[in-house]
Amino acid sequence: MATISPSRRRSFYEGMRDTLPLIIGAIPFGIIFGTLSGGAGLSAAGALGMSLFVFAGSAQFVALGMLANGAAWPLIALTTLVVNFRHLLYTATLLPYLQRLPRRWQAALAFGLTDETFAVAVQRWQAPGTRPDDHWYQLGSMLFMYVNWNLCTIVGLVAGRLLAGIADWGLDFAMLAAFIGMLIPYLKDRPNYAAMLAAGASAIVFQSLPHKLGLLAASLIGVGAGLLAERWASTANGTPSPEA
């Protein structure tokens, strides 16, 4: 096996380091996934299989909820499509950076493109300067998340059987805190605030839509609001809109 150059190794560790705060948020969330799975009627093998092969926290939780309600697997797969559709937008965002990588790198990084790794990696890719090894940065972030997510699932599977009432400890708040933390880089200008306000308000309005469709609708409305605010800002400044 070829040795890994020091610069690549450094990028890899930096990716892990910058993901660490989000790992802290993901730990309780992974544990509670393992904990709740049994009650929803999913076997231990099924729960671990999801963490190993699906690797998508929010979709895994939605699947548990639907299983508990007795939903059939094709319906759960369809809902997974809707819940994870936002990741198509993530890939589109990273497209300019990932398209020059070999196919196997693309497949590996796509498999691990969670919300957390996207939030960390997009900052790195978009930072000024040229660094040829940023894909190692993203790999470090995703492997850290992946190993942690699966270990926490196992801990949760065990804890769920040992500790009664762990499901009521409010461990799921950790994910909420982590996702709010991921918003910090965007708390900066009017277009971003407009995107957040519109997405948040729409998410409330669309909360009752079936199959979590509201998430998708609210995301698209938020993006549209950001674009509109950007255009208004540039006309208000008297500068011509960058759009032709």
Partner 1 sequence: METFYLVGAMALVTFLIRYLLLPLSGRVELSDGLRRALRYVPPAVLTAIVVPFALFPDGQQMDFSLANPYLVGAGATLAIGWLSRHLLLTIVGGMACFWTWRAVLAMGWI
Least distance CB 8 / partner 1 (angstroms): 21
CB 32, CB 175: distance < 8 Å: no
Output phi, psi for 42, to 5 deg: -100, 135
Q: Which is nearer to partner 1, 27 or 35 (CB)?
A: 27
Instruction: Give residue 225's identity as a one-letter amino acid code.
Output: A
Whichever of 14 and 230 has its CB closer to partner 1, that residue is: 230
Q: Residue 6 Cβ, how far from partner 1 at the closest point, in Å?
A: 27
How would DSSP label each residue in 16-42?
A: HHHHHHHHHHHHHHHHHHHHHHTTTT-
Which lies closer to partner 1 via its Cβ, residue 9 or residue 193? 193
Least separation in angstroms between residue 64's CB and partner 1 is 11
Smallest distance, Å, CB 99 to partner 1?
4
Q: Say which residue the tokens 């890719």 belong to.
A: 125
Q: DSSP class of residue 46?
A: H
Nearer to partner 1, 9 or 181 (CB): 181
CB of 121 to partner 1, least distance (A): 11
Taking the least distance from each CB to partner 1, the nearer of 54 and 151 is 54
Contact criterion met (CB below 8 Å) for 59 and 84: yes
Cα 192-100-13 angle, rounded to 5 deg: 70
User: Which of residues 9 and 197 has its CB atom nearest to partner 1 in the complex?
Assistant: 197
Helix axes 57-68, 6-37, angle to 10 degrees: 10
All residues at 6 or more sequence positions from 133 whose CB lies less than 8 Å from its CB, including other chains? 5, 7, 8, 10, 11
CB of 1 to partner 1, least distance (A): 25
